[in-house]
Amino acid sequence: MTNEQSFDYDLFVIGGGSGGVRAARLASQAGAKVAVAEEYRYGGTCVIRGCVPKKLFVYASRFHGEFEDARGFGWDVEPKGFDWTKLVAAKDKEISRLSQIYLTNLGKAGCTAFEDRAVVTGPNEIKLVNEGRTISAKTILIAVGGTPFKPDLEGAELGITSNEVFDLKTLPSHVTVIGGGYIAVEFASILNGLGSKTTLAYRGPSVLRGFDEDVRDGLTEAMQARGVDVRLNASPKKIEKTNGKDTNDGLVLHFEDGSTLETGLVMFATGRVPLTKGLGLETVGVALGRNGKIEVDEFSQSSVPSIYAVGDVTDRVNLTPIAIREGAAFVETVFKDNPSKVDHSQIPTAVFSQPEVGTVGLTEEQALEQYGTIDVYKSQFNPMRNTISNSVERTLMKIIVEQASQKVLGVHILGPDSGEVTQALGIALKMGATKADFDATVALHPSAAEELVTMKDKSYSRP
């Protein structure tokens, strides 16, 4: 097809998640004729089976600890139990509401929304599988996200992933979560908080690879203190069924070192891979990388000039806000003649484990490697909330500073509401704040966050 040829649409988006929908709406508002196809439910991973339902489950799981803490503040609280089915039903209702909002907003923006699987059949052609018809588009945007990865081990089919955990019919009595990243520590915390006996088995020496070492160690200790059985350097080899019941009970997990663990449900939280299989991308010449990710340039353009990709399918930074920004930058570049790139550095992020993790910028080891000499400010303390609740869990705050310029390179927090605090810190680091800027800021008292502006004396310097 040539640029002079007439197309059915100016833009066809495959994938109705956060990045794809944002791009579709903005492009339509810019005057483009736009269509979107989603084969499952509009909203994507984040809304349907990711961030949103996870955070709802996080809230639910925290009440057990809240009830215990309340006693220290004079409340006589005797919870009667937890109803898993009520939580799942409430979650389903909210997810349906949000999914409908995505569809409604596409319609308001003037986009055509297909509830169908779409595959690429040419540089400018898409086939709707169920309808069986082919559609032409000047530009195609792939925003299909990722899917959970299961390791290739015997009996892996007996385990579930984060896709299925939200819809379990009953809360299992014993869960083993395999993995050590975001999803693993979050669901180990959730299930433990809801009352399941919980084991976290990770093949590495410490959870949350890539995070600051103090945060990794602190979270491991805190999870263990909360009752999670954390097993490190534990690489699974085989899952075996011991009875005829469903997979919520009666499993044995075998490890490479010869040890075994009798458990109920096994949940794999061993990473995610781009969902490109079967999209037809290879047949039209789109270059794919490791695990099937779409190789793109800094403007999200693939090796086929008419095909772009944003979000987790590119395996750059797999976070919903990044997919949204990439979608917006794509529209600026292609439909507004304003070439735009997304800065993937200094991204504030939170891990909704118990306790919570909030971090922005470089870890201590990353800062040392990139800058050579650094100052480290670190504080561990008992937050006011814990003083009369009988909780011994301590909060960790850590600031990494370049020694020469005194620019703040990274801030890491382990403790309640750390994600909320980190969002504001992201602004400061993006603006190039120095340690002197932190020191000159008046403390908000009484709060845990005031520790960030009252740490005047450095803990140590490196190298």
- Residues annotated as catalytic are 445
Tokens 């976070």 found at: 319
Residues 6+ apart with CB under 8 A from 132: none
Please report, to the nearest 10 degrees, the dihedral formed by the alpha carbons of residues 190, 194, 195, 200 taken in order.
-10
- Whether residue 173 contacts residue 43, with contact meaning beta carbons closer than 8 Å, is answered with no
Tokens 């806000």 found at: 321
Burial call 398-415: b when 16+ CB within 10 Å, e when fewer: bbbbbeeeebbbbbbbbb
Please name the amino acid found at residue 227: G
Residues 6+ apart with CB under 8 A from 128: 37, 114, 116, 117, 118, 134, 135
Q: CA-CA distance, 240 to 123, in Å (whole number)?
A: 46
Backbone angles phi, psi at 38, to 5 degrees: -135, 125
